[in-house]
Structure 1
Amino acid sequence: MTHDAPRDVWLPLPPDGIDGLPEGPNYLFYDGGDDGTQPFPGDPADCAVYVVPYLKRQSVKVRPLPLMRNLRVVQTLSAGVDDITGHLSDLPAGVSLCNARGVHEASTAELAVALTLASLRGIPGFVRAQQEGRWQSRFHPALADRSVLIVGYGSIGAAIEDRLAPFELARVVRVARSARTTERGPVHPIAELPALLPDADVVILSTPLTEATRGLVGKDFLARMKEGALLVNVARGAVVDTDALLGALEGGRITAALDVVDPEPLPADHPLWHAPGVLISPHVGGPTSAFLPRAERLLVDQLGRYVNREPLRNVVLTTGAASD
């Protein structure tokens, strides 16, 4: 950093609690506050690196962006950056937008497997029976010998497959934006989904939310799923057309386990709460005990790279670039 360059770094974690932050920047704490009205910790025009508050409403996350005229880096603590990409016009040219790759893989993959097992093995029914004092024994499908289709084979998709490995699956089929080959086998392009869906017993969504994936799981997608298949969503709620999903659930064709929904949070009177064959968790794929140590390691490394003018990690895009 040059002497007259902006030096402020806004962190949503107390700076004095993070060991190893590099010297040089002026670290300021800002997490938006519980109601989104926390005063700015300094002049937004002096902010060089903005680490976006985690688990806050979008309006809280983007509130200071129009005033950050000298910003260099926006670092999210979420795997997705869709809350920010809709506000790129508020940013000056040359800002690096970075995601939190490496932070959420472990906990999100754990939840994907937990939701899959809980739904297949009927855990919600056991909980309800326990509350009513009923001994309810019945046959349930196992994960063993099933075919699992992972839609969105980035770092989280790969972490999900890592955790599925011991379950004696019949096969795992991987889908991403474009075809490639991994050590575990081929990754199919998303264009091949229509041909792959009818053979999958479990479809796990771990794709980022982009214009290409918004509403990806609609009527045609759901109609191509195998009768009795399970849809697991740990991606973003808007990847799924909620009305289409409701139709498929109410018709009994499929079941679903959802950590994310659209709208979110789901209103108390929304019919999805009571749709047959659905298990809903309240977007808890990331916020676990695994989050803080991994987030702190990412910030220390990323800020060290920034201070030393080394290439940043996890750059999703740079504002003003041709691809924007």
Structure 2
Amino acid sequence: MTSPLIVSVPTAQLRDDLQPLPEGVEVLVWDMTDAAPRPHIDIVVPPYMSMDGVIARLTEVTTRLVQGQSIGYDNVEGRLPEGIVFANATSVHETATAELAVALALAAQRALPDFVRAQDRAEWEGKWTPGLADARVTLLGFGGVGRAIAARLKPFEVDLRAVASHGRLQDDVEVLPLGELYDVLAATDVLIVSLPGGDKTQHLVDDAALSALPDGALVVNVGRGPVIDTDALVDHVRRGRIRAALDVTDPEPLPADHPLWTLEGVLIAPHVGGATGAMRPRIARLVRRQIEHFLAGEEPENVVLRG
């Protein structure tokens, strides 16, 4: 008799969302706060947005695949036990994250936070705002999220470019190499960052990069907080040089006494880029595809790390 394919998921909800599954698949609920329920689990799905204790738990089991629920994997890179294969959640969050990036840019460019505060005071206060139409928008990073942002920005009639590791023309967007970053920033009204975390991107947007931006520019970050030098960002915003709309920060969560909370020209979202109703069915579809790959004797998709 063939042994069943064992899959662990962190919640009963995800277990239920996976149904129906082919025969020969057993799904366990394991949130990874307690000891592993089996010595071998073919596919382990850790909790979303929390890797606390996960690495230690992975040393307790043998597994063929760890399927993360986020696109980013900088919090596991270099920490995986030997032999562990890790896949990220490409295909799950790109659309929702792009949605928030555009929402943040629109909210900041049309001064929606000011209007909400005026509404709280029951005050009718109109003002002229920069808007998005004809704005020079630069996407820093042109992976799945960056391309999804580009697709959603085009109907707003912006002047769109991107900067990535190498130059190219992709999806009708001019993508310039990182070596030209400062020149591009000098002609940028809205900078949207969607880069992953890690040593290669840490503080890529530093004081020099922020200084290259024109006065009044907006910086939107839906990638990872450490891509931007927070101290430099605070300095530029405090001086009224630039504005910021951030879904991610460094540190994170942002401490209650951090200046970013109260500086004029800053809009904060608490790292909710992927937190929409689209996530549940999309992560279930991805995990189901991984199960089908294993049953068919195929390699899993989205593999980004091998411990």
How high is the TM-score relative to the length of structure 2? 0.94
Contact 2:86/2:306, CA 8 A, preserved across alignment: yes
The corresponding residue for 2:71 is: 79
Q: What letter corresponds to residue 93 of structure 2 in structure 1?
A: H
Aligned length: 305
Give yes or no for the alignment of 1:92 onto 2:82: yes
SS at match of 2:42: strand
The one-letter code sitting in structure 2 at the alignment partner of 1:144 is A
CA distance in 2 between counterparts of 1:178 and 1:50 reads: 34
Deviation at 1:9, TM superposition (A): 1.9
In 2, are the aligned partners of 1:71 and 1:92 still within 8 Å (CA)? no
Residues in 2 aligned to 1:316 and 1:188: alpha-carbon distance in whole angstroms:
25
**1:86-138, CA deviations, whole angstroms, 9 ceiling, x for partnerless residues?**
412xx122x32211111011111110000000001111111111111111111
Where do 1:154-193 residues align within 5 Å? 154-169=143-158, 171-193=159-181
Counterpart of 1:26 in 2: which secondary structure? strand
| Structure 2 contact 30–37 (Cα < 8 Å) conserved | no
Q: Which runs of 4+ in 1 moved over 4 A?
A: none
Query: Secondary structure in 1 aligned to 2:223?
Result: coil
Question: After the TM superposition, which residues 122-161 of structure 1 pair with which residues of structure 2 at under 5 Å, given as runs?
Answer: 122-161=111-150
Matched, 1:238 2:226: yes
Out of 96, 99, 102, the residue aligned to residue 107 of structure 1 is 96
Give, in whole Å, the separation in 1 of the partners of 2:122 and 2:171. Answer: 49
Question: How far apart are the structure 2 equivalents of 1:31 and 1:59?
Answer: 11
- Unmatched 5+ stretches in structure 2: none
Is the 2:139–2:163 Cα contact (8 Å) retained in structure 1? yes
Are 1:109 and 1:156, in contact at CA under 8 Å, matched by a contact in 2?
Answer: yes
Taking only the aligned residue pairs, the percentage that are identical comes to 43
CA drift of 1:41 comes to: 4.9
TM-score by length of 1: 0.89
Deviation track 1:247-298 (CA, whole Å, cap 9, x = no partner) reads 0110111000000111111111111111221000111110111111111111
Which runs of no fewer than 5 residues in structure 1 stay unpaired?
A: 33-37, 320-324
Q: What's the offset of the Cα at 1:3?
A: 5.6
Equivalent in the alignment of 1:39: 34
Deviation at residue 8 of structure 1 after TM alignment: 3.0
Deviations 1:47-81 (A, max 9, x none): 2221121032x31433412223x222111110101
Distance of 1:265 and 1:308 partners within structure 2: 42
Task: Provide the C-alpha distance between the structure 2 equivalents of 1:257 and 1:281, rounded to a whole number of angstroms.
Answer: 8
Letter in 2 for 1:42: P
* 1:288 match: 276
Candidates 261, 265, 269, aligned match of 1:273: 261
CA distance 1:167–1:271, change in 2 (3 Å): same
SS of the aligned residue for 2:96 comes to helix
- Identify the residue that residue 23 of structure 2 maps to in structure 1: 23
| SS across alignment from 1:85 | coil
**Alignment partners' CA distance in 2, 1:312 and 1:227:** 47
Secondary structure of 2:52 counterpart: helix
Are the counterparts in 2 of residues 180 and 186 from structure 1 also a CA contact under 8 Å?
yes
Secondary structure of the equivalent of 1:16? helix
- Letter of the 2:145 partner, please give it: I
Contact 1:215 1:239 in 2 (8 A): yes
* Secondary structure at the counterpart of residue 75 of structure 2: helix
Aligned partners of 1:272 and 1:296: how far apart in 2?
36
Letter aligned with residue 210 of structure 1? G
Counterpart AA for 2:130: P
CA contact (8 A) 1:22 1:307 kept: no
